[in-house]
């Protein structure tokens, strides 16, 4: 029983991280209809920035805040400089562009910080919450950060006019323009948010898996699975999907197929969802009258 609870707790922790990655993917998907394959590498690169700041002597939370801000600006910058010129380009060109970004960030990180594994500090102590070895403060902290972030995003999208403008721009760009919304800036904002969320995911996962340029590769697949399970157009669903994938992955890994095949499980989930329920569990079907 203890083992089972431990597995659930560990699953929720990794689930929280997948949820962050999924959220970043959803953020860009809803505003531009694209899947950003570089989401993971952007997060990894931001985590290196945080590492460099902490290494230079900055306190953890200041480095955390600065990294999120820099990532946001970076996401904005990438959209304005790299993607805006491709506004009318075919989807394939964009896919190639995302893959290029992926390998550029990967190589850049390796070049600047080398490929040797680095330790990344955690702001949360590793000790137990209840003193019985089941749930650690670290695990609880990771889940809490994810939930807080989801809360903030929900408030932003539901209750602010800027959030509303972003949703409108994503849904019907022409019509949004006719309401005075600067659509192309809304897309840039979406990229900024996605990059910031990714940075948080990177900083949460780095203490667990250690920091190296390839740390997000597998996690991106899980995040993608999470986003699909929840419904790729739905932030709340993406987070739920992330948690579901995290827990399932852990249980299936420890009871059924073993740790080596866990990533395969994620891919099976991806294919399964696409085949059986493409809108995801929480995907909303939008009623449209013509």
If one asks whether residue 288 binds other proteins (CB under 8 A), the answer comes out as yes
Mark the segment that binds other proteins (CB under 8 A) among 100-108, 131-139, 173-181, 247-255. 173-181
Q: Which is nearer to other proteins, 119 or 172 (CB)?
A: 172
Q: Tokens for 187?
A: 């897309």
CA torsion sign for 236, 239, 240, 242 is positive
Number of residues that bind other proteins (CB under 8 A): 23
Mark the segment that binds other proteins (CB under 8 A) among 74-82, 97-105, 130-138, 160-168. 160-168
CB of 190 to other proteins, least distance (A): 15
Q: Measure the CA–CA gap between 183 and 123, rounded to whole angstroms.
A: 38
If one asks whether residue 284 binds other proteins (CB under 8 A), the answer comes out as yes
If one asks whether residue 89 binds other proteins (CB under 8 A), the answer comes out as no
Q: Which is nearer to other proteins, 277 or 284 (CB)?
A: 284
Instruction: State the CB neighbour count (10 A cutoff) for residue 208.
Output: 16
CB of 223 to other proteins, least distance (A): 24
Q: Is 125 left (phi over 0), alpha (psi -120 to 50) or beta?
A: beta
Q: Which is nearer to other proteins, 256 or 286 (CB)?
A: 286
Beta bridge partner(s), residue 136: 128
Q: Tokens for 252?
A: 């299936």
Q: In the chain, how many H helices and how many E strands? A: 11, 0
H helices of 115-234, in order, are: 137-159, 161-171, 173-177, 183-209, 217-230
If one asks whether residue 174 binds other proteins (CB under 8 A), the answer comes out as yes
By CB under 8 A, name the binding residues for other proteins.
Answer: 161-162, 164-165, 167-168, 171-172, 174-183, 284, 286-289
């Amino acid at each position: 029983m203890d083992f089972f609870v431990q597995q659930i707790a560990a699953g929720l922790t990794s689930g929280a991280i997948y949820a962050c990655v999924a959220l970043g993917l959803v953020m860009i998907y809803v505003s531009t209809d694209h899947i950003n394959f570089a989401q993971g590498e952007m997060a990894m690169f931001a985590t290196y920035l945080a590492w460099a700041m902490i290494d230079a002597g900055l306190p953890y939370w200041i480095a955390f805040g600065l990294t999120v801000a820099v990532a946001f600006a970076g996401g904005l910058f990438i959209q304005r400089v790299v993607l805006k010129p491709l506004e009318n380009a075919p989807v394939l060109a964009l896919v190639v562009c995302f893959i290029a970004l992926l390998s550029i960030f990967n190589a850049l990180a390796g070049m600047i910080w080398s490929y040797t594994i680095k330790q990344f500090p955690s702001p949360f102590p590793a000790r137990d919450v209840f003193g019985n070895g089941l749930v650690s403060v670290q695990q609880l902290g990771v889940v809490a950060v994810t939930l807080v972030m989801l809360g903030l995003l929900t408030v932003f999208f539901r209750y602010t006019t800027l959030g509303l403008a972003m949703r409108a721009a994503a849904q019907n760009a022409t019509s949004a323009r006719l309401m005075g919304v600067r659509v192309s800036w809304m897309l840039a904002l979406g990229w900024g948010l996605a990059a910031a969320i990714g940075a948080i995911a990177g900083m949460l996962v780095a203490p667990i898996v250690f920091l190296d340029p390839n740390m997000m590769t597998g996690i991106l697949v899980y995040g993608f699975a999470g986003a699909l399970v929840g419904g790729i157009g739905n932030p709340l669903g993406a987070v739920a999907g992330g948690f579901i994938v995290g827990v399932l992955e852990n249980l299936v890994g420890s009871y059924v197929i073993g740790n080596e095949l866990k990533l395969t499980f994620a891919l099976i989930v991806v294919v399964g969802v696409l085949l059986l329920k493409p809108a995801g569990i929480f995907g909303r079907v939008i009623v449209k009258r013509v």
